[in-house]
């Protein structure tokens, strides 16, 4: 290499390093490296990503900026990421300037093969139209009734028998029986959401925990889709074109899922058409039988079969993992906080004593919870909310920046960059939740007298998103989680299996890395019943005592 070439190389390196120095001075987050940007830090903290982000946000006051690729022309736009958990910024992004922060082209491209232009993968008018239709359905009591029917059936005919068998085996000392509660809950919520989404039960929680072809294909398709987040878009697009690796798995799995749903849609259209052509009584019966979301969308307008498939898949993806993951962390937290468990069990017993009578506790276990009973479980709802504060099902989310903007804290975000809002960190900031922000304390969600649930601002507690995209199924999710949690804790005491390590899995959803191995023991309600009866007797004596 001659002197002139060396001089050009040295000059280019010097110019780049001067540019990089100016770039890095303007970034407030963790260390960035030449060319690689923040990628070394992301790789180093791949196993504790959410805690690492939370630590960075605490050090920077709730917002920082970093660069994924430190390359001129890219770094200040597509490579720039603003990370925040400041409630003011969250309200700005999720509500005040909603139109400036869509999901964006990258997110849409990653999920398009699986979710198409469904409600959770679309922006603009496409999203608005689906949101309006879905919002109308989610406010109906009939959908709530349908959810309760599916959940109660799965709990009492499938989940509880499995837990009772494990408890009986432990009591008889036949063997040390553990159950993977995370797996059971995933199966239960998958069966429920499929029933609610398109009226079919895949029976993954049936005796023996059978494999289901549709469920397996859906899992493989989801895993392959999430794999795209690991690689640059150009790389996974190339692999897709060549038919290599996980892209082949994705294509085959999506084809299987589409084939299954196409058959469901075809059959449902015939059933609805037959109902519409029948006598009035038959039509009424058919309508009552088809109270799933797919049938409701069919009745609302003329959707293509492909659009209906995407409707079903979007709701399955949103409704399965989120509730099951939240419940897994809930049962773990409750099992490690006995005083919280005692309060939940007492509330369950008091509620059932009022509605079903204290004289015969067997009646408490004889039938599923009613809506009214579930609505009275305010401490249980507080414990579930506290779980979601500390362990949100979706720990991080991101938005694309359409036009240059300034966040309320003064941070400038250029067009083409992205904003990541850390839901995990938002629930763990002392500036928002106080010095005890890392403690599991359901009381923070209750009124001073402990009788009323008091929700927090949705931009401090972002587990259900906020603004126009706030989760439509929030109330249904609480209904399902309260039903499952109450039914299990009323009958069983759970304990983490000896030696089992509970760790976070790095994924878009906050799974437990090794599942949740739990010991199952029968619940002895006698002490609680005696306490309730004693309190009732004392209240009666005070009410009948003569005045002094």
User: How confident is the prediction along the chain (548 residues), in pLDDT tens digits per residue?
Assistant: 577 778 788 888 888 888 778 888 888 888 888 888 888 888 888 888 999 999 999 999 999 999 887 788 776 676 889 999 999 999 999 999 999 999 999 889 999 999 898 888 899 998 998 888 888 888 778 888 888 999 999 999 999 999 999 998 877 665 667 999 999 999 999 999 999 888 889 999 999 999 889 999 998 998 888 888 767 778 889 999 999 888 999 999 999 999 999 999 998 888 888 876 654 444 444 444 678 888 888 887 778 888 888 888 888 888 888 999 999 999 999 999 999 999 999 999 999 999 988 777 888 998 999 999 999 999 999 999 999 999 999 999 999 999 999 999 999 999 999 999 999 999 999 999 999 999 999 999 999 999 999 999 999 999 999 999 999 999 999 999 999 999 999 999 999 999 999 999 888 889 999 999 999 999 998 888 888 877 666 556 555 656 54
For 107-169, give the DSSP string: HHHHHHHHHTT-GGG--HHHHHHHHHHHHHHHT-HHHHHHHHHHHHHHIIIIIHHHHHHHHHH
Q: What's 97-394+428-544's CATH class? A: mainly alpha
Q: How many whole angstroms separate alpha carbon 205 and alpha carbon 499? A: 26
Instruction: Tell which residue, 20, 102, 82, has the closest CA to residue 411.
Output: 82
Residue 282 pLDDT: 42
Residue 84 pLDDT: 97
Residue 526 pLDDT: 87
Q: Using an 8 Å Cβ cutoff, are 395 and 422 in contact?
A: yes
Q: Is 471 part of any known ligand binding site?
A: yes
DSSP-derived letter for residue 92 is I
Q: Using an 8 Å Cβ cutoff, are 322 and 341 in contact?
A: no
Q: How many whole angstroms separate alpha carbon 187 and alpha carbon 227? A: 22
Domain residue ranges in the chain: 1-96+395-427, 97-394+428-544
Q: How many whole angstroms separate alpha carbon 250 and alpha carbon 236? A: 11
- Three-state DSSP class for residue 272: helix
Residue 28 pLDDT: 87
Global pTM reads: 0.91
Residue 441 pLDDT: 97
Q: Using an 8 Å Cβ cutoff, are 308 and 182 in contact?
A: no
């Amino acid at each position: 290499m001659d002197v002139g070439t060396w001089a050009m190389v040295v000059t280019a390196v010097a110019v780049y390093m001067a540019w990089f120095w100016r770039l890095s001075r303007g970034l407030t987050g963790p260390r960035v490296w030449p060319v690689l940007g923040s990628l070394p830090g992301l790789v180093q903290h791949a196993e504790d990503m959410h805690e690492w982000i939370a630590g960075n946000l605490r050090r920077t006051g709730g917002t920082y900026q970093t660069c994924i690729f430190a390359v001129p022309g890219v770094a200040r736009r597509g490579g720039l990421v603003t990370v925040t958990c400041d409630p003011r910024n969250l309200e700005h992004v999720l509500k005040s300037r909603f139109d400036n922060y869509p999901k964006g082209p990258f997110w849409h491209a990653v999920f398009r093969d699986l979710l198409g232009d469904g409600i959770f993968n679309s922006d603009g008018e496409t999203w608005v139209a689906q949101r309006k239709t879905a919002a109308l359905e989610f406010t109906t009591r009939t959908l709530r009734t349908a959810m309760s029917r599916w959940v109660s059936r799965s709990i009492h005919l499938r989940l509880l028998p499995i837990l009772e068998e494990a408890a009986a085996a432990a009591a008889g000392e036949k063997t040390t029986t553990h159950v993977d509660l995370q797996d059971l809950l995933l199966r239960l919520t998958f069966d429920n959401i499929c029933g609610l989404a398109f009226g079919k039960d895949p029976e993954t929680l049936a005796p023996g925990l059978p494999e289901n072809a549709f469920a397996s294909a859906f899992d493989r398709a989801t895993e392959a889709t999430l794999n795209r987040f690991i690689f640059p878009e150009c790389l996974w697009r190339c692999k897709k074109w060549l038919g290599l690796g996980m892209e082949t798995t994705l294509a085959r799995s999506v084809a299987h899922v589409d084939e299954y749903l196409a058959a469901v849609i075809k059959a449902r259209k015939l059933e609805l058409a037959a109902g519409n052509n029948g006598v009035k009584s038959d039509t009424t019966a058919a309508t009552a039988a088809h109270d799933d979301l797919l049938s409701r969308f069919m009745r609302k307008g003329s959707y293509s079969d492909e659009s209906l498939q995407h409707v079903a898949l979007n709701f399955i993806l949103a409704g399965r993992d989120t509730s099951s993951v939240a419940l897994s962390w809930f049962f773990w937290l409750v099992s490690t906080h006995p005083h919280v468990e005692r309060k939940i069990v007492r509330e369950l017993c008091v509620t059932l004593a009022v509605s079903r009578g204290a004289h015969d506790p067997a009646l408490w276990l004889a039938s599923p919870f009613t809506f009214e009973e579930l609505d009275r479980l305010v401490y249980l709802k507080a414990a579930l909310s506290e779980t979601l504060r500390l362990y949100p099902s979706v720990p991080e989310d991101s938005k694309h920046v359409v036009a240059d903007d300034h966040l309320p804290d003064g941070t400038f975000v250029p067009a083409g960059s992205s904003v990541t809002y850390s839901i995990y960190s938002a629930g763990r900031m002392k500036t928002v939740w106080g010095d005890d922000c890392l403690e599991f304390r359901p009381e923070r969600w209750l009124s001073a007298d402990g009788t009323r649930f008091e929700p927090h601002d949705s931009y401090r507690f972002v587990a259900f998103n906020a603004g126009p995209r706030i989760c439509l199924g929030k109330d249904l999710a609480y209904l399902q989680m309260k039903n499952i949690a109450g039914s299990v804790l009323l009958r069983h005491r759970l304990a983490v299996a000896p030696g089992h390590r509970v760790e976070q899995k790095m994924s878009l959803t906050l799974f437990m890395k090794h599942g949740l191995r739990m010991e199952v023991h029968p619940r002895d309600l006698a002490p609680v019943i005696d306490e309730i009866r004693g309190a009732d007797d004392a209240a009666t004596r005070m009410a009948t005592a003569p005045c002094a």
